[in-house]
Copies of this chain bind each other. A is one copy, B any other.
Amino acid sequence: MELPVVQPVTPKERADAVANRQRILDAATRLFAENGVGCTSMDAIAAAAGVGKGTVFRRFGDRASLALAVLDASETTLQEAMIRGPAPLGPGAPPRDRLLAFGDAMLDRLEEHHEILLEAEISHGSYLRSEPHAVHRTHTRHLLAQLRPDADNEYLVDVLLAPLTARVFTDQRHHRGLTLKQLKAGYADTVCRLTRDC
């Protein structure tokens, strides 16, 4: 009688593959910062990382995913703070305060990484279905559910997340010259208006 076969959950990535992923990420981070995201081609990243172009695409799929991967550490930090960090961003504060803190954190993140985040949104397929965005969506829906437990908050989530996209942010902040402070105040006002009856 055979023992049940335990599926190797992680087929274990080869050592050179791991090393190459890191070299690509480092190269991308550096070139994005040095020359601007828009002026950095995938070939340039591959060359700077010392790998073939095929390797870049095998590791990251496409340009948008590479951009997201570059920001992965930052994204993880944010999610960690949202889920387990100190109030008001983390648990413990009233839901509305947490929504406001979330908006603040997102806008700070956009202020710092708008170029790369915009690239991730623009480059390919709907950014709205990326894993990070899904987490933000779940988080926002969760907080709204506490404020309005009996309502259908699905559309409201969209309304609250749309102004936190890089597209909208870049237009407001860099084409129309609004300040970060104004955006935070505007977002806070919006949250309060939309949840006034709770």
Contacts and interface: CB of A to CB of B under 8 A. Distances in A.
Contacts of A58: none
A123 B196 CA distance: 38
A170 B128 CA distance: 10
Question: How many copies of this chain sit in the oligomeric assembly?
Answer: 2
Contacts of A122: 122
A47 interface: no
Given A126-B167, A167-B167, A172 B158 contact: yes
A156 B126 contact: no
A151 to B, nearest CB: 9
A18 interface: no
A90 B156 CA distance: 27
A108 interface: no
A12 interface: no
A129 B162 contact: no
A47 B194 CA distance: 51
B196 A178 contact: no
A62 interface: no
Given A178-B154, A196-B196, A190 B126 contact: no
A126 B193 contact: no
A127 to B, nearest CB: 8
Listed from nearest, the 10 A-B pairs whose CB atoms lie closest are: A155-B186, A162-B162, A128-B171, A193-B194, A159-B190, A126-B171, A159-B163, A162-B168, A158-B163, A162-B163
20 contacts: A126-B170, A126-B171, A126-B175, A128-B168, A128-B171, A128-B175, A129-B171, A155-B183, A155-B186, A156-B189, A158-B168, A159-B186, A162-B163, A167-B167, A190-B194, A193-B193, A193-B194, A193-B196, A194-B194, A196-B196
